[in-house]
Each structure stands twice: as structure tokens, then as C-alpha cells.
Amino acid sequence: MPARLPHLRSDARDNRERILDAARVVFASGDLGVPIREIARRAEVGPATVYRHFPTKESLAAATFTDQLRAWRSVVDEGLADPDPWHGFCRAVEGLCELRARDRGFASAVKSAFPRALDFTAMRTASLTSAAELVRRAKETGRLRSDVAVDDLILMIMANDGIHASTTAARIAASRRFAALMIQAFEARSV
């Protein structure tokens, strides 16, 4: 899905963004079963407007997930662009943990509910390739432990997904603390 939709009128683009914003909020609560009319109500548009932009709930979930994937990729890309690979690695760990804390299982829910909505295999491959480069570059600085692998980042994300708190702010705070602990665990110790 293109990042820009130049063929839409400005009011249609605004409606589309409001629909996506409302869907993000609803889906972030873990409820993919919410009716389209509820998303339309939150977006302050009619259900027909939602269906005009997203003919199915699957297409709405896929668009919302694609936006979220862009955010994850941006965090990793910023880490890779950092001239200090260790700093870039740390920023990526912090950013990924925070995004996952905000995610509240949305990615897993989309994959489970709509397994054919997107090419999840290609997305995973691209993400793992970028993560491997992030790890490789950080290792070259000597600051990242030599035994750290991409699988450790996956394990970190899975553990971060287990953080439960009563509010989003509390979940994000706990996730930031967890990221700091993980960075300490990943850092090479000089003896």
C-alpha cells in the first residue's frame, strides 16, 4: 500500500486517516472483532465511508498493520543509520520495545485472524535481514557481546510482549525499564 494516496481528494484522505487512527485505537485493545460501525463512529464517518476505503475488515486490519510495520522498520532503519553502531543498536532495542508495548498483541492478532492479508513471510525475512545487520554492526564495535544473535532480539520482543499493566503509560514505562535491562545484558563486559 503506498504511503501517499495522491488520487484521493483532501477530505477523502482526511477521512481515511481518521478511519486508520480509530482502527489503531480499537485494534490496539486487542479487539479485532469490533464491528465496522464502531470504527466508523469513532472516526466520525459513516460505515459506508469506511467500506469505500476498506472493503473488508481484513483490508482495514492490513492497512493498519502496514502502518505499524513502517514504524518498526523506521526504528531499525534509524538504528542502522546511526554513525555509532552501538548507539544505533541501543536506540533500536528501546524503540522496538516501546512500539511493542503500544502494540498490545495487535500484530499477532492480525496474523492469526487474517493470515492471508499480507505476505508475512516476506516481511519477516526483511525484518530479520535488517536486524542481523544491526547486530553485526554493533558486534564490530566490541560493545555487543559476541554471542548475541538475532534470535536473542526475537526472544527479547517475545518477553517484552509479556509485559502487562493496567494502563498504556505503565506498560510503556515497564517496557522502557525492560529495554534498559536488556541493553545491559547485551553489552560486552570488559574483564
Q: Which three cell numbers stand for residue 129?
A: 535481514
Candidates 1.20.1260.10, 1.10.10.60, 3.20.20.150, 3.40.1350.10; CATH matching 1-55: 1.10.10.60
| Residue where the block lists cell 509485559 | 163
- Would you kindly state where each structural domain of the chain is located, as residue ranges? 1-55, 65-186
pTM over 0.75: yes
In this predicted model, what pLDDT tens digit does every residue of 113-147 receive, in sequence order? 677 777 777 877 888 899 999 999 999 999 999 99
Q: Which residue has the higher pLDDT, 143 or 112?
A: 143
User: What is the 3-class SS of 27-70, one letter each residue?
Assistant: HHCCCCCCCHHHHHHHHCCCHHHHHHHCCCHHHHHHHHHHHHHH
Q: What number is the average pLDDT over the span 46-72?
A: 88
In this predicted model, what pLDDT tens digit does every residue of 15-37 receive, in sequence order? 999 999 888 888 776 677 889 99
What does the buried/exposed string (b/e) look like for 13-35 if buried means 16 or more CB atoms within 10 Å of the residue's CB?
eebbebbbebbbebbbeeebeee
